[in-house]
Copies of this chain bind each other. A is one copy, B any other.
Amino acid sequence: MENRKSILNCALQLFYQKGYDAVGVQEIVEKAGVTKPTLYYYFGSKRGLLEKLLQEHFGKMEEKLVRASAYDAGIPEILYRLARAFFDGATADPEFYLMILSLFYSGRQSEGFQIVYPMVKRYYRIYVEVFARASEELGNMHGRQEQFAIGFSGILDHHLMHAATNRDDLSKLHISDEETRSIVKQFMYGIYS
């Protein structure tokens, strides 16, 4: 059972660094110190490995976002909590979330996109619901909840990407509370505030 974990960890690191398609099964098992049949015993295929890898990391982030999206405060507070939860979750497990992003932006017909798309959609729905519920506070949304959700997640993803670029030590990746507040403030009140 320890080999299984080692394979998952090594695969995550390699997929993040080089991309899913560019990493061979051989490379993974060598880094993990096992042999191929061990990998195929646990995961069945390279695709199965990716699926299990995503499943095991997906839940934590979703749970954080769901908890942050609770409708027990005003929009400013909820959006701040969401951004904070997102940055916390992403910086606690940076390789995973950056891999998610790379898979989400990869070719539509690629294995990676097909596997990751339903997951990203679930994150996205959380945002949409937050804005939909906020119609009391924001007035009739006229369908703009989707536009807001796209914009909000786009900003968060982009800031995360930017923070990760040119940083070789991902473990020190962090987005400060001050920056988070500034980002959310800009989203809510615009650039003139």
Residues of A in contact with B (beta carbons under 8 Å apart) = 15-19, 21-22, 75, 101-102, 104-110, 112, 117, 131, 138, 144, 147-148, 150-151, 153-159, 161-162, 165, 179, 182-183, 186-193
Contact = CB atoms under 8 A, between A and B. Distances in A.
Q: Is the interface of A mostly helix, strand, loop or mixed?
A: helix
A191 B154 contact: no
The number of times this chain is found in the oligomer is 2
A154 B158 contact: yes
A144 B153 CA distance: 19
Contact of A193 (B148, B165, B190): B190
A188 B183 CA distance: 13
B191 A19 contact: no
A189 to B, nearest CB: 4
Contacts of A148: 186, 191
30 contacts: A18-B107, A18-B109, A18-B110, A19-B19, A19-B106, A19-B107, A19-B110, A21-B21, A21-B22, A102-B106, A102-B107, A105-B106, A106-B106, A131-B191, A138-B192, A147-B159, A147-B186, A150-B159, A150-B162, A151-B158, A151-B159, A151-B183, A153-B158, A154-B154, A154-B155, A154-B157, A155-B155, A188-B190, A188-B191, A189-B190
A113 to B, nearest CB: 8
Highest count of chain B CB atoms <10 Å: which of A154, A162, A191, A193: A191
Contacts of A157: 154, 158
Contact of A101 (B105, B147, B159, B183): B105
A125 B91 CA distance: 26
Given A154-B158, A187-B190, 12 more contacts: A17-B107, A19-B19, A19-B21, A75-B191, A147-B159, A147-B179, A151-B155, A151-B186, A157-B158, A158-B158, A188-B191, A188-B192
